[in-house]
Structure 1
Amino acid sequence: MTGALNSPLSPSRACGTLRAIRLLFSIVFWTFLGISSLLLFLGAVVVWALTTPFDRNGLVLHLYSCFWAQLYFYVNPLWHLKVDGREHLPWKGAAVLVSNHESLGDILVLFGLYRPFKWVSKAANFKLPLIGWNMHLNRYVPLVRGDKASILKMLAQSEAWLARGVPILMFPEGTRSEDGQLKPFKDGAFALALKTQCPIIPIVLTGTARTLPKHGLVLETSAHCHVQVMPPVDPSGFHDVAALRDHVRDLIVAEKARLEALSARA
């Protein structure tokens, strides 16, 4: 009996081995992220300096940032990303992109859209070394959650980008979901769409909770992430913010359930 418990095939030994692999994987990932971010930020500064005179909306720098984020998928054979529906995203023209939010990995995944947009992100992210500094260079839009003045400023900046024909991307849940279930949506993105009469483009993420955890630094060793871009929703057919908000949320809930059911059967 004792020999069986101490066997390499025993559950306790297998769990210990898995934890050790995850810890090693996490150390390698965070080390690589730190070193690569330093080098890639220097590259971002060069791109910013060379393109700012003629690229008034920062498209080139944003696409460079897309590559920066996607690098961590390119070099990791255990992380897989599939993007469907990219044809629904405009290269030119205003749109409000809204996505569900499961983990920090959502940011890496959504950069894989490789389309122009400005992030609306919590202000604390702009204070991060290197990555936050790149967010400043890209002129993404900061937000202090719960701060009325910051919310009004965010809406004004977002409206200004939309007026210039640049899409914005928001997480209408406001924060990451703890259990993968969609939280209630806030009104901001939908109020902007109604005011500017820009299409809302729903985006559904699955599998990203297994990339970067909400709490802690130990990563899962493998992840199969899927991004589904849905057809645009015309806000002109909705009489108020709540109706548009609830319609888009229902679309995302239904599509997320469909994708997760397909994944479970695969």
Structure 2
Amino acid sequence: MGAPPQPRAPSRRVKLFSAWFWLYLVASLTVFWFAVVIPWLVITPFDRRRRFSHWYAYTWANHLHAVSPFWTIVVEHAERMRADQAYVLVCNHQSSGDILTMFSLRKQFRWVAKRGLFALPFLGWMMAMAGYVGIKRGDKRSRERMMAKCRRQLELGNTIAMFPEGTRSTTRHMRPFKRGAFVLACESNKPVLPVIMVGTHETLPRDSWVFTLERKIYPVLRVLEPIEPAAHDHDPERLADAVCERMTAAIEQLRAEIEARGGLEVRPPQ
């Protein structure tokens, strides 16, 4: 009952588009990386927060959305993420496309990502240039280093973005939250900013590199109201439970809204 509906097998047209998209992604990433190296070397000494590098990363990601005929990301309530406030941003995770989708916020934040990604040519180099934070799963020392780097980023005024489930969910329901993001929020006294996404699984299912779309859809990224650690006595367990409860309810509400207007193929009213 909790599993998402299984999409039909993709057509030959969609398989060809999938192959083209990933080849284009690699090619454009290579071009973008070479184009940014010299500006990065010049600007970075004057840009301690690495704002330019992240701006460049989300510009690249959003140009990928622009060239796709199969989806347009709808961003709601982005104004809730204030430019003068650092947050611990947490988001649900159902697809390999979630990271690209999050860049649609066009806001400054720093990802926490698997350390292996940083070893990838061009992609990993761009992540390192932007000040993103790596972690090796199951490694206690790596986790401690990650937390220290995240605290440093928050002190600089940068928002830290995490998937608290740790990995992609296989059902319509979120996986249990890991506590790292909420320990970080309580220790640094920074608000948690919940963000929910619906439609990325329908675009690119978990563990698949083939898109499943025959018609254009409108995945939705919605920013919820921030939650202060003080509202839960700076207790990471209570804070995590409160955030999980709010995000679960918000996801169900968003799904109901999408179904009421006729599905993901119908663009939400502006």
Q: Given the alignment of the two structures, is residue 236 of structure 1 paired with residue 257 of structure 2, yes or no? A: no
Q: Given the alignment of the two structures, is residue 259 of structure 1 paired with residue 254 of structure 2, yes or no? A: yes
Structure 2 CA distance for partners of 1:16 and 1:104, relative to 1, 3 Å: closer
1:203 match: secondary structure? strand
Work out whether residues 210 and 220 of structure 1, in 8 Å CA contact, stay in contact via their aligned partners in 2: yes
Unaligned runs of 5+ in 1: 1-14
Question: Among 196, 210, 216, which residue is 2:208 paired with?
Answer: 216
Work out whether residues 47 and 60 of structure 1, in 8 Å CA contact, stay in contact via their aligned partners in 2: no
Hey, what does 2:112 align to over in structure 1?
120
CA offsets 1:126-172 (integer angstroms, 9 cap, x no match): 11221111001112000111111111111111011111111100000
Unaligned runs of 5+ in 2: 1-6, 262-270
Shift of 1:46: 3.0
Structure 2 CA distance for partners of 1:194 and 1:39, relative to 1, 3 Å: same
2-structure distance, mates of 1:209, 1:124: 23
Shift of 1:18: 5.0
1:166 match: secondary structure? coil
Larger C-alpha radius of gyration, 1 or 2?
Answer: 1
Hey, what does 1:111 align to over in structure 2?
103
2-structure distance, mates of 1:235, 1:18: 44
Shift of 1:116: 1.0
Normalising by structure 2, we get a TM-score of 0.89
1:190 match: secondary structure? helix
State the AA in 1 paired with 2:253: R
Hey, what does 2:241 align to over in structure 1?
246
Shift of 1:241: 1.0
Hey, what does 1:23 align to over in structure 2?
15
1-structure distance, mates of 2:103, 2:249: 23
Normalising by structure 1, we get a TM-score of 0.90
1-structure distance, mates of 2:116, 2:205: 18
Structure 2 CA distance for partners of 1:212 and 1:48, relative to 1, 3 Å: farther
Q: Given the alignment of the two structures, is residue 49 of structure 1 paired with residue 41 of structure 2, yes or no? A: yes
Q: Which moved more, 1:185-194 or 1:122-131?
A: 122-131
State the AA in 2 paired with 1:256: I
State the AA in 2 paired with 1:128: L
1-structure distance, mates of 2:194, 2:9: 40
State the AA in 2 paired with 1:190: F
